[in-house]
Amino acid sequence: MLRIQNLSKRYKNAPVPALDDVSFNIEKGEFVGLLGPNGAGKTTLINLVAGIAARDSGRIAIAGHDFDSGHIALKTSIGFVPQEVTFDYLFTVRESLELQSGYYGLRANGGYIDYIMKRLSLYSKKNSPVRNLSGGMKRRLLIAKALVHRPDILILDEPTAGVDINLRRELYDFVRELNAGGVTILLTTHYLEEAEELCRRIILINGGRVVVDKSKDDFLRMAGDFLTLQVKASADIGARFSDFSGLTQSENMLTLEFSKHRLGEVMRILSECENKIDDISISSPGVEELFMRLTSGGAA
């Protein structure tokens, strides 16, 4: 459905590229979460896919059509929900959707527009000017606009940012329903629990590069694979862990992040230092800490 090969982009006067040789494929019907910290390159990546920004090198193909071909099927395959809530404020909800439908070359699409408005609880506001809508309603309208031409792939750039929990739940249900109906979803989000709940595959980018591309289950397993050891010791035992890269020390406190497969090694060192240890704890860091570790460059 979406093929990205060696995609690179550097903004004018930027010291480092926003995207650096990014490649991945997304198959039809997948639900993919694109994660990364601020400035990782997520929005740049989807802006390149949507054609909003021009790439420096690499290739993008959507629905079997090379991006440069300008083929109409390429653009009609994508529904794009931008991060910023932006509208033509002169029009009503229905007019906005009818115009959008027209831009996609669809005549007499009123039935589907009504369905989308009802499904997104916008129908009662159909004749309201967009400027009078609440923030949540505007967010729904953005999604409705992206869906009005029945795209094969829906790209959502942080669609639940600043949205209350009820609307977030509604959007989750709706996006799941779309995916179950065969629509491929690419979701960028800051909320790890959102990706964990919705996506079946996680692509994590940092510094413009893909750091992780795994199924959600593998990603969660990876989170479970790491352990955090905290030791309060009367003497310096840090030198014994010099072989580990995830070591931090402050006064008599030692923190070590390490892969589960090295647990035996850690236990052996700890037993050798047994008489110097005052307190000890080992915990599993979870997805959030794994995210922090992967995006800050540290790993055991």
Query: Which CB sits closer to other proteins, 70 or 298?
Result: 70
Least distance CB 191 / other proteins (angstroms): 23
Q: Judged by CB under 8 A, how many residues of this single chain contact other proteins?
A: 30
Angle at 53 between CA 178 and CA 199, to 5 degrees: 30
Minimum distance from residue 105 beta carbon to other proteins (Å) = 3
Lookup: tokens for 36: 């990364």
The single-letter DSSP state of residue 298 is: -
Residue 88 touches other proteins, criterion: CB under 8 A: yes
- How large is the greatest C-alpha to C-alpha distance in the chain, in angstroms? 80
128 scored as a contact of other proteins (CB under 8 A): no
Q: Which of 16, 99, 253, 280 binds other proteins (CB under 8 A)?
A: 99
The angle at the Cα of 214, spanning 291 to 53, to the nearest 5 degrees, equals: 80
Of 47 and 295, nearer to other proteins (C-beta) is: 47
Question: What span, in angstroms and rounded, lies between the C-alpha atoms of 31 and 27?
Answer: 9
Q: Least distance to other proteins from the beta carbon of 72, Å?
A: 5
- Distances from the Cα of 295 to the Cα of 61, 66, 228, 258, angstroms: 28, 31, 17, 16
Binding mask 43-82 toward other proteins (x if CB under 8 A, else -) reads ----x--xxxxx-----------------x--xx-x-x-x
CB of 149 to other proteins, least distance (A): 9
Residue 106 interacts with other proteins (CB under 8 A): yes or no: yes
Between 75 and 201, name the residue whose CB sits nearer to other proteins: 75
Q: Of 6, 25, 66, 103, which lies in the binding site for other proteins, with binding defined by CB under 8 A?
A: 103
**CB nearer to other proteins: pick between 11 and 115:** 11
**Side chain identity at 14, as an amino acid letter?**
A
Q: What is the dihedral of CA 1, 149, 102, 145, to 10 degrees?
A: -100
Does residue 161 belong to the site contacting other proteins (CB under 8 A)?
Answer: no
CA dihedral 96, 100, 102, 107 (to 10 degrees): -80
Span from 85-93, 162-170, 172-180, 282-290 in contact with other proteins (CB under 8 A):
85-93
Q: At what angle do helices 286-296 and 216-225 cross, to 10 degrees?
A: 90
Check the CA dihedral 257-263-268-273 and report its sign.
positive
Nearer to other proteins, 57 or 234 (CB): 57
- The answer to whether the beta carbons of residues 199 and 33 sit under 8 Å apart is yes
Containing H/E element for 35? Answer: strand 31-35
Alpha helices in the chain (DSSP H): 42-50, 72-76, 93-103, 110-119, 135-147, 165-180, 192-198, 216-225, 263-272, 286-296
Q: Tell the smallest beta-carbon distance from residue 51 to other proteins (Å).
A: 4
- 89 lies in the binding site for other proteins (CB under 8 A): yes
* 108/239 with CB nearer other proteins: 108
- Tell me: does residue 95 bind other proteins (CB under 8 A): yes
Q: Does 84 bind other proteins (CB under 8 A)?
A: yes
Rule CB under 8 A: which residues touch other proteins? 11, 47, 50-54, 72, 75-76, 78, 80, 82, 84, 86-91, 95, 98-99, 101-107
